[in-house]
Structure 1
Amino acid sequence: MVGTQALVTRVTAEDHLGDPHVGLVVPPANPAAEPEMTRLLGSAYALHTTRFSVSRQPLRTRLESYNTELADRIASFGDLGLAALLVACSGSRYLLGARQDHESCAALSAHFGLPVATATLATHQVLRRLETRALVLVSPYEGWLTEQCRAFWDAAGWHVRVLAVRAGDQYAPYKVGTAELVEQVGRARLPHDAVLLFTGTGMSTLAALPALGHGNDRVLLTSNLCGAWWLIHQVGVVPDEGLAWALRRLAAQGLAP
Structure 2
Amino acid sequence: MLPSATPSHREVALLDALRRLGGSGRSAELATMLDVSEETVRRTIKSLAKVGSVERVHGGAHLVGPGSTGQRSASFFRRMGENPREKQEIAQVVLPRICDGMTVFLDVGSTTSFVAEALRLRRNLTVVTNSIGVAQLLANHNGNRLHLLGGEMRSDDRGTFGPVTEQQLARFALDVAVLSADALSAKHGLLFHNAAEAQLTMTITAAAEQVFVVTTHAKFSEQAPHRGPLPQQLDLLVSDREPGKKLARALVDWGTEFALAQPTPEGD
TM-score by length of 1: 0.38
Structure of higher RCO (CA pairs closer than 8 Å, 6+ residues apart): 1
Bigger Cα Rg:
2
Between structures 1 and 2, the one with greater strand share: 2
TM-score (norm 2): 0.36
